[in-house]
């Protein structure tokens, strides 16, 4: 066990239940709308496992997108109301684009959507019915196929040229209010994820199909979270990387119930921006 391993194993941690993918026949699929009669909403059923989730704040300076697949950054914002779609698109989008371009030394950043979440006790996570709920299953937003396809979906006239370089899908996730104590985000250390742990799963919309990775349980996985995040902090999550040179390409993550959360903690409110990040190589 190296110095870094020893340092990690000595960190404070909480033990919490994470929802992995239960074994399922065939390719898992989930409908993002009411399924056809007789069809289940999803065949991707949860398999809960209790795992230690380490407090990463003490070693946050050592995290990197290319190794662990996530990073903590300082990112103050002047946005007043994240529930105002116009303000998010006109104020937040340009600021995040400039921040990511500088931070990741990218040639170009393209933001293709965002999601606002606010936890409501007992509410289902329904698209188009108010704020989304925290995602409580271990997943990666893109796969090797869908990450590549995002370029053609959003920038069709330039895609053939853009995919000649390095393409990443990076999410910027932040709490809207803080310090965040309710339903924090857990991130898997990408160096502990085996390729066979990632299971391509269909996400079916009324007019198209997407693909995400569900994740099988592996006792080797190592998990981190950043407790009590404030609204001037953000987490960068790698959801796809076209580079195949040994860097982490996919970062599994999930919301989780922290057993140490105070009973009177404010419900989690957060926003994530999904971006395409381009390097010409």
Assign residue 107 the CATH number of its domain: 2.60.120
In which domain, by residue range, is 217 found?
64-279
Number of domains in the chain: 1
Residue 197: inside a domain: yes
Q: What is the pLDDT of residue 131?
A: 77
Residue 46: inside a domain: no
Residue 252: inside a domain: yes
Alpha-carbon distance 128 to 198, whole Å? 28
Taking 70 as the pLDDT cut, the residues of the chain under it are 1-6, 122-130
pTM of the model: 0.94
Q: What is the pLDDT of residue 9?
A: 80
Residues 175-209: tens digit of each pLDDT: 999 899 999 999 999 999 999 999 999 999 888 88
Residue 56: inside a domain: no
Residue 51: inside a domain: no
Residue 36: inside a domain: no
Residue 182: inside a domain: yes
How does strand 46-55 pair with strand 223-225? parallel
Residue 227: inside a domain: yes
């Amino acid at each position: 066990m190296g110095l870094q391993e020893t340092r990690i194993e000595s960190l404070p941690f909480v033990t919490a239940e994470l929802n992995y993918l239960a074994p399922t026949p065939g390719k898992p699929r989930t409908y993002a709308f009411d399924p056809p009669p007789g069809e289940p909403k999803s065949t991707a059923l949860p398999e809960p496992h209790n795992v230690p989730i380490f407090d990463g704040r003490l070693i946050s300076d050592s995290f990197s997108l290319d190794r662990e697949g996530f990073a903590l950054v300082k990112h103050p914002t002047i946005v007043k109301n994240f529930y105002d779609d116009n303000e998010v698109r006109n104020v937040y989008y340009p600021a995040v684009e400039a921040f990511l371009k500088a931070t990741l030394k990218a040639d170009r950043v393209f933001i293709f959507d965002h999601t606002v979440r606010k936890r409501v006790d007992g509410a289902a996570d329904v698209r188009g019915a108010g704020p989304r709920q925290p995602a409580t299953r271990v997943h990666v937003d893109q796969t090797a196929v869908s990450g590549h396809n995002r370029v053609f979906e959003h920038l069709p006239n330039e895609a053939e040229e853009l995919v000649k370089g390095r393409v990443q899908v990076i999410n910027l996730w932040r709490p809207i209010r803080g310090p965040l104590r309710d339903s924090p985000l857990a991130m898997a250390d990408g160096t502990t994820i085996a390729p066979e742990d990632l299971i391509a799963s269909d996400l079916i919309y009324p007019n198209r199909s997407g693909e995400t990775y569900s994740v099988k349980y592996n006792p080797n996985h190592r998990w981190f979270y950043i407790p009590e995040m404030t609204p001037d902090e953000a987490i960068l999550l790698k959801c796809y990387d076209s580079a195949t040179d040994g860097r982490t390409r996919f970062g599994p993550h999930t919301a989780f119930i922290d057993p140490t959360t105070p009973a009177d903690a404010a419900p989690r409110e957060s926003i994530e921006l999904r971006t395409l990040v381009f390097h010409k190589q």
